[in-house]
């Protein structure tokens, strides 16, 4: 069961303390110690060891360790003219390509960390299906089954896009076992539940296939919603000095981020952040903003809860520029030595983003 801060206040009697001590500002130091979170390191790529891992069952990692790569086979069947059975060497001998893409868990909380960005290498699902003689008239879904018993599907039309990959390398290394070795699906813009790991079977299906979570009532869409996070300063961290650098990530799922803005006055005004050029239209972006208080000492800096999304054409990426080829909140204030000192709280809600469709 997830408990909100308000629930905790009621349960512990801190609510009464608020009244006796003069409100939230008077107990800001208490909450600062209780809920303080240090700044995160913001890097464009997530190392394999720090990349989030979520599985539908506890036993799947042990199952993955039992994969005998010499005996493993990938089967392609269903609405195809030429069913296929490929071994590990067959996969490696096919044409492959690299793609930078962000993966994100559907359970990621606001400001959460169940997402990561990596360079993947793999083979084209579209080309594989074409080589099997897929029947484009009857195909509706493409189903992926893992050796752990997990299964899910994506629409056939989505499967036939050039950005859908069967990945076997992650950040230049053999796909780690916990991330789906020997082969996993990578569909940019869809939550992790759709990116099946440990794949051993692909079926072209003539109907609407319901995967493991869909049979339990979860969404069959899986499109990632726009997301942002302030990594630094940290949660309930006291800021001192004439200026502060705010830094974080923003991710548009199927859309690239065109603009990120911060508000320090409950959304009355917005300040545009500088976005570092991404290497891929399928990845998050890193944004930065240097904040200079208008005057020393107390500075109003209430957080807003507004998010703005507008759609347009995809913004060019760093890869696009280098090649003509298509690139597949409340706070407590103090005065100390005449310098501003601000305690940061819930600033995740102070981000406004504009995205551009891919």
Structure tokens at 236: 């309930």
Alpha-carbon span 112 to 315, nearest angstrom? 26
Classify residue 107 by its DSSP letter: T
Same-domain pairing of 172 and 81: yes
At which of 166, 181, 216 does a domain end? 216
In the predicted model, what is the mean pLDDT of residues 190-195? 97
Confidence at residue 111, expressed as pLDDT on a 0 to 100 scale: 86
In total, how many domains does the chain have?
A: 2
Alpha-carbon span 314 to 358, nearest angstrom? 4
Q: How many angstroms separate the Cα of 171 from the Cα of each of 40, 48, 175, 282, 290?
A: 21, 7, 9, 15, 31
What confidence category does residue 33 fall into, taking pLDDT thresholds of 50, 70 and 90? low
In the predicted model, what is the mean pLDDT of residues 318-336? 33
Same-domain pairing of 127 and 237: no
Same-domain pairing of 127 and 163: yes
Q: Does residue 226 lie within any of the structural domains?
A: no
Confidence at residue 352, expressed as pLDDT on a 0 to 100 scale: 64
pLDDT digits (tens, 9 = 90+) for 211-230: 999 999 999 999 999 999 99
Q: Do residues 139 and 205 touch, judged by C-beta distance below 8 A?
A: yes
pLDDT surpassing 50 at residue 239 = yes
Q: Does residue 2 lie within any of the structural domains?
A: no
Confidence at residue 295, expressed as pLDDT on a 0 to 100 scale: 67
**Phi and psi of 48, rounded to 5°?**
-60, -35
pLDDT surpassing 80 at residue 331 = no
Element (H, E) at 240: strand 238-240
Alpha-carbon span 285 to 106, nearest angstrom? 19
Please give the mean pLDDT across all residues of the chain: 78
Choose among 111, 328, 116, 52: nearest CA to 232: 111
pLDDT digits (tens, 9 = 90+) for 121-159: 999 999 999 999 999 999 999 999 999 999 999 999 999
Q: Does residue 4 lie within any of the structural domains?
A: no
Q: Does residue 262 lie within any of the structural domains?
A: yes
What confidence category does residue 241 fall into, taking pLDDT thresholds of 50, 70 and 90? confident
Same-domain pairing of 145 and 277: no
Higher pLDDT, 280 or 64: 280
Classify residue 265 by its DSSP letter: B
pLDDT surpassing 90 at residue 327 = no
At which of 187, 216, 245 does a domain end? 216
- Weakest mean pLDDT among 95-109, 165-179, 230-244, 334-348: 334-348
Same-domain pairing of 162 and 301: no
Q: How many angstroms separate the Cα of 349 from the Cα of each of 87, 130, 264?
A: 48, 45, 11
Global pTM reads: 0.77
pLDDT digits (tens, 9 = 90+) for 158-167: 999 999 999 9
At which of 216, 243, 271 does a domain end? 216
Same-domain pairing of 245 and 184: no
pLDDT digits (tens, 9 = 90+) for 75-131: 999 999 999 999 999 999 999 999 999 999 999 998 899 999 999 999 999 999 999
User: Which domain covers residue 26, as residue numbers?
Assistant: 22-39+233-357
Give just the sign of the alpha carbon dihedral 341, 346, 347, 350. negative
């Amino acid at each position: 069961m997830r408990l909100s801060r308000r629930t905790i206040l009621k349960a512990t009697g801190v609510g009464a303390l608020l009244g006796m001590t003069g409100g939230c500002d008077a107990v800001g130091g208490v909450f600062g110690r209780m809920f303080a979170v240090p700044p995160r390191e913001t890097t464009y790529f997530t190392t394999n060891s720090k990349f989030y891992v979520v599985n539908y069952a506890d036993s799947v990692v042990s199952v993955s360790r039992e994969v005998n790569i010499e005996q493993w086979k990938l089967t392609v069947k269903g609405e195809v003219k030429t069913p296929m059975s490929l071994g590990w060497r067959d996969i490696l001998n096919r044409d492959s390509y690299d793609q930078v893409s962000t993966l994100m868990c559907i359970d990621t909380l606001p400001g959460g960390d169940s997402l990561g960005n990596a360079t993947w290498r793999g083979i084209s699902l579209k080309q594989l299906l074409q080589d099997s003689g897929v029947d484009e008239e009857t195909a509706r879904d493409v189903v992926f089954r893992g050796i752990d018993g997990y299964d899910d599907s994506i629409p056939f039309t989505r499967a036939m896009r050039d950005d859908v990959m069967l990945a076997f390398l992650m950040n230049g290394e053999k796909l780690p076992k916990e991330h789906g070795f020997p082969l996993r699906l990578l569909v940019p813009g869809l939550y992790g539940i759709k990116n099946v790991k440990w794949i051993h079977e692909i079926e072209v299906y003539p109907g609407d296939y319901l995967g493991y979570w869909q049979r339990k009532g979860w969404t069959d869409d899986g499109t990632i919603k726009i997301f942002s996070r302030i990594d630094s300063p940290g949660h309930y961290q006291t800021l001192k000095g004439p200026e502060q650098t705010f830094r974080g990530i923003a991710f548009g799922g199927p859309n690239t981020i065109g603009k990120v803005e911060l508000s320090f006055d409950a959304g009355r005004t917005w300040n545009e952040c500088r976005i570092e050029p991404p290497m891929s239209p399928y990845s998050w972006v890193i944004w930065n903003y240097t904040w200079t208080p208008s005057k020393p000492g107390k500075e109003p800096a209430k957080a807003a809860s507004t998010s703005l999304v507008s759609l347009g054409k995809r913004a060019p990426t760093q890869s696009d520029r280098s090649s003509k080829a298509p690139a597949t909140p409340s706070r407590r204030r103090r005065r100390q030595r005449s310098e501003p000192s601000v305690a940061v709280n819930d600033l995740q809600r102070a981000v406004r983003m504009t995205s551009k469709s891919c």
